[in-house]
C-alpha cells in the first residue's frame, strides 16, 4: 500500500497536481462523485447507446454489476470519472461475478476531484501499470488473458478513497 501511495505521489508531482494534496487526504468526502459508463461514442466525447452510472462509496468498496446498474451485461466499452475523489480505485472486469474471466483492469484517480474525458476500455490493454491514462487517471491493475474487450464489461468494483482497500480479484462467490 505504501508503494502505491508513493507511486501516486510521484505521478501527482510529475503531472502537476495541486499543492492541496495534504488537504485531500484529510477530507476525501468533499464530493460524492460517480463513474459513468456508455456502450459507444456517437462522436468524440459524445456517449451513445446504453448508459448508466455508479456512485463512489463513502467507505469500503461496492461491487457494481453492469446488469444491475442499468447498462446491461456485456454492453459497455467506455467509462469516465465525474467529481471522483483522489485515491478512488475502480476494478473493471469482464466477469459478472467480478472474479476470473478474460480480463480485469484497475483505474485510480490521483487528482481531487477527478473529472475525466471518456476512456475506451480497449486502450487499457497493453498499457503498463502506473501509466497515466489521462490527467487525473492512472492505470493501477492489469490482467488480460484473452477475449474481446469491446462491449464486454460486466462488473466494476469501486473502492472508496482513503482506506477503501486495494485491488484483489474476487473469490468464487463474488466477494473481493
Check which CATH number belongs to the domain holding 95 and give it: 2.60.20.10
* pLDDT tens, residue by residue, 80-122: 999 999 999 999 999 988 877 899 999 999 999 999 999 999 9
User: What is the reported pTM?
Assistant: 0.77
Rounded Cα distance, 101 and 112, in Å: 32
**What is the 3-state composition of the chain as percent helix, strand, coil, each rounded to the nearest 5?**
20, 35, 45
* pLDDT tens, residue by residue, 133-160: 999 999 999 999 999 999 999 999 999 9
In a domain, 174, yes or no: no
In a domain, 105, yes or no: yes
In a domain, 78, yes or no: yes
Supply the range of the domain harboring residue 138. Answer: 2-159
Number of domains in the chain: 1
Amino acid at each position: 500500500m505504501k508503494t502505491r501511495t508513493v507511486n501516486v505521489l510521484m505521478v501527482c508531482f510529475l503531472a502537476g497536481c495541486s499543492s492541496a494534496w495534504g488537504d485531500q487526504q484529510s477530507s476525501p468526502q468533499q464530493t460524492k462523485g460517480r463513474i459513468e459508463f456508455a456502450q459507444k461514442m456517437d462522436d468524440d466525447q459524445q456517449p451513445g447507446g446504453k448508459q448508466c452510472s455508479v456512485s463512489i462509496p463513502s467507505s469500503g468498496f461496492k461491487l457494481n454489476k453492469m446488469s444491475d446498474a442499468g447498462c446491461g451485461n456485456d454492453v459497455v466499452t467506455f467509462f469516465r470519472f465525474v467529481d471522483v475523489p483522489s485515491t478512488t480505485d475502480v476494478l473493471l472486469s469482464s466477469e459478472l461475478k467480478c472474479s476470473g474471466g478474460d480480463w480485469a483492469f484497475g483505474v485510480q484517480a490521483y487528482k481531487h476531484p477527478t473529472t475525466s474525458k471518456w476512456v475506451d476500455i480497449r486502450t487499457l490493454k497493453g498499457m503498463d501499470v502506473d501509466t497515466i491514462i489521462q490527467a487525473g487517471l492512472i492505470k493501477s491493475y492489469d490482467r488480460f488473458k484473452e477475449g474481446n474487450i469491446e462491449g464486454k464489461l460486466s462488473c466494476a468494483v469501486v473502492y472508496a478513497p482513503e482506506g477503501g482497500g486495494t485491488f484483489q480479484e474476487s473469490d468464487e462467490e463474488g466477494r473481493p
